[in-house]
Structure 1
Amino acid sequence: MRVLRSSAVTAVAVAAALTAVSGCSGKSDGKDSDAITVKASDDACEVSKTSFPAGHVTFKVQNKGSKVTEVYVYAAGDRIVTERENIGPGTKAEITATIKKAGSYEIACKPGMKGDGIRQKITVTGNDKAEKSNPELDKAVAEYRKYVQQQADETIPAAQKFADAVKNGDVDEAKKLYAPSRTGWERTEPVAESFGDIDPKVDVREDGLEKDQKWTGWHKLEKSLWADNKITDEDKQLAGQLMTDLKDWQKRVGTAEITPTSMANGAKELLDEVATGKVTGEEERYSHTDLADFQANVEGARKAYELLKPVAGKNDAALTQELDKQFGALEQLLGNYRDGDGFKAYDGVGADDRKKLSDAVNALAEPLSKLAGAVAK
């Protein structure tokens, strides 16, 4: 969900050619001199290079501001290719990507996590030279594409049951079906969010609304069901609109730009989702079904990682060993909060337990942030 998060953003608005590392075996020498430094502050977005050749590129982001920041890579029309979230004041982050075609792009920093951000134009010259395909990475991308489509396909009937319950005015049944209707979306959220026009319709929280934006989607219905404990005629209409928007996502998800590093960066984004929304209890503030979303985010991150692991393991065996360890630890800890087929309500999880969950998420997020670099070696 793209909403007010504890982060200030660097968004790279790029044409569809900006792919978060393609399924190629081209190597990057990793020299700092080749990296593009992005200095994000509360009122500026400084870029060290405004022109550079197509190919593998590393953005080294420095948060010089007082607010947490996140970094997006956009395709034309603000179509998100990749992002890096949760970059705290005074900290740094690195994003590995591949820009395959020449053209005009933008880098935008979003202090405060809202709006279009402070944008800087950049120019990519030439075209990335054809590189020998890496069969293992090609397979990983193909399998992940199948997974993403499957999640979208499975979301539709689950969401339809939820929408039907809302349309029928059945509050209790709608509450029961709410969390399961979101699982597929949460597992593949970075890909879903890459269509910048869909996410604000289906998954925005009230505090993430832009000026004059009408509130629609899951969280509007969540508030009606739990905070108001009633279903209005407008809610019934919104349930229908939710299905229209989700079917649009299902239809378009097959066209998403999916590459090895977009998968790796997406896995990290899912952990950022957990850190900034689920662990804090902000995501499902009315239903308190945060742990169900938490589980789905971790499952989605694990899927991307497992598909990339054969290549990442060859390039950085120590990293994959650490990731195996931290994924296992987080999954085991999360299992402690299961309740039947679901999870305990998050408002019943105390501060000490939330701290344990947060620590486990952070322990996984740190090595996971290095996965894209390992894949791109």
Structure 2
Amino acid sequence: MTRRPVVAAAAAAVVIAPVLLAGCTEKSNSEGAIAVTSTADACDLATTDATTGNVDFTVTNSGDKVTEFYVYGNNNRVLGEVENIGPGLSGNLTVEIVEPGTYTVACKPGMVGTGIRTELNVGGERKEKADVPADVTAAKAQYLEYVRNQLNTLHAQTTSFVDSVKKGDLDAARAQFGLARTPYERIEPVAESFPDLDPAIDMRWDDTEDGTQPFTGFHRIERFLWPPQADEIGDAPGQITPSDAANAKETDNPQAIAEIADGLLANVTKLRDEVNSPDFDFETLSFVKGPQALIDEVAATKVDGEEDRYSHTDLWDFAGNLDGSETAIATMQPIIAAKNPALMDKITAQFATVRDSVNSYRDGDGYVSYTEVTPEQRKELSNQIDALSATLSQVPGIVLQQ
């Protein structure tokens, strides 16, 4: 998740249609897509020159780890991405770039670390963005009001959480941890468009490249509040790796964590202020893809217990992602229902199924430890989440249909 800044010439670019495919992918314009080959130590582009308009990429994973591909624009904002490209598979991405200039693309083998970066030189004349339906623009504005309210809540709850950590009231901090993170989980599609702030706030040990990058944010504090125990250490999904446990023993102390806590609050404050800025623009396709992206967050990093591996508060994150996904869909519901009422009914029913499953693990005002959820129950949750994700994948095509 950690990424480094890049200077680019344009704020205006719109992701058009990322699609994951096995094997070869169809070129989407007469000049053909830019072929990208991702390996363990390279991100090779057939050409590093492009022209304003729709810039197409075909990303082939020739390595032995799952990879991702990103396009970055002005202020290091994510303009487009293709995630979860397995070994031997390919993915398509089309990004509409309307300003000539220097952009950056990156492959991220293993989906961790800063990524392998390459500059992309975009020539040609400035172009106008493609038109977005007015009802979609209105829905996005409504959604961003929700996001801003959630960021205000995140700031308030993080302030209280950090205060407890710095005072040494660790029982209070443990009680606040899941609640403090919930607003962040609700608005992750927006947070992830800031590729420096997002990892600084929400990175996991995996993103440190085995400790070669600084470990910061909520999960670093989580590790201090719930120190790794011997029976939790191992290399299986959801376990704490030996290097992670060793780093915790060496570096987690009240003074170090107080600095991490200050940094967390500073980054949450910056994220809130950036999204409240009058010139903040959230890419339309990131918005319409957001409901599925939030559900896929559960499938990719939470069902196996990897996200909150120290505290096992994963169900708080499940609920937060579900909240954010449902809210985004609610803003688009009139559009979906008008164009495909059967799809809207199916989405509503599937949300209810997943919500009922998550709520079955309620414990007072919170949730049981994820360690109490059996492998069979996790599999049932996973199946429900996968089914919902598949349905939500139809949303962008429906709402952007002219």
The bucket for the TM-score relative to the shorter chain is 0.7 to 0.9
In 2, distance between residues paired with 1:313 and 1:84? 28
The 1:127/1:14 distance shift into structure 2, 3 A limit, reads: closer
Cα contact 2:36–2:57 (8 A) shared by 1: no
**1:71 maps to 2:93:** no
In 2, distance between residues paired with 1:215 and 1:208? 8
Which runs of 5 or more residues in structure 1 are unaligned? 5-12, 23-30
**1:373 maps to 2:397:** yes
When normalised by structure 2's length, the TM-score is 0.78
**1:349 maps to 2:358:** no
Task: State the secondary structure of the residue aligned to 1:227.
Answer: coil
**1:245 maps to 2:242:** no
Aligned length: 361
In 1, distance between residues paired with 2:135 and 2:344? 16
Q: CA deviation at 1:74?
A: 2.0
Q: CA deviation at 1:330?
A: 1.9
Q: CA deviation at 1:143?
A: 0.8
Which runs of 5 or more residues in structure 2 are unaligned? 18-25, 230-251
Provide, for residues 111-150 of structure 1, a one-character-per-residue CA deviation record: whole Å limited to 9, x for no partner.
Answer: 2223332536252533334665632112112111211111
**1:217 maps to 2:217:** yes
The 1:56/1:145 distance shift into structure 2, 3 A limit, reads: farther
Report the equivalent of 2:232.
none
Cα contact 2:11–2:73 (8 A) shared by 1: yes
Sequence identity (%): 36
Cα contact 2:299–2:382 (8 A) shared by 1: yes
Cα contact 1:40–1:64 (8 A) shared by 2: yes
Work out which of the residue numbers 300, 305, 315 in structure 1 matches 2:329. 305
In 2, distance between residues paired with 1:176 and 1:81? 37
Q: CA deviation at 1:284?
A: 0.4
**1:227 maps to 2:249:** no
Provide, for residues 272-297 of structure 1, a one-character-per-residue CA deviation record: whole Å limited to 9, x for no partner.
Answer: 32122211111100100011011111
Q: CA deviation at 1:172?
A: 0.9
After superposing the two structures, state which structure 1 stretch, 281-290 or 197-206, moved more: 197-206
The 1:373/1:122 distance shift into structure 2, 3 A limit, reads: farther
The 1:339/1:223 distance shift into structure 2, 3 A limit, reads: same
In 2, distance between residues paired with 1:33 and 1:21? 11
Q: CA deviation at 1:260?
A: 2.6
The 1:130/1:289 distance shift into structure 2, 3 A limit, reads: closer
When normalised by structure 1's length, the TM-score is 0.83
After superposing the two structures, state which structure 1 stretch, 293-302 or 174-183, moved more: 293-302
**RMSD across aligned positions (CA):** 3.2
Cα contact 1:55–1:100 (8 A) shared by 2: yes
Provide, for residues 335-375 of structure 1, a one-character-per-residue CA deviation record: whole Å limited to 9, x for no partner.
Answer: 22222221111111111111111112221222333433333
In 2, distance between residues paired with 1:269 and 1:38? 25
In 2, distance between residues paired with 1:317 and 1:131? 27
Work out which of the residue numbers 6, 15, 22 in structure 2 matches 1:20. 15
Work out which of the residue numbers 306, 309, 313 in structure 2 matches 1:282. 306
Work out which of the residue numbers 346, 359, 363 in structure 2 matches 1:335. 359
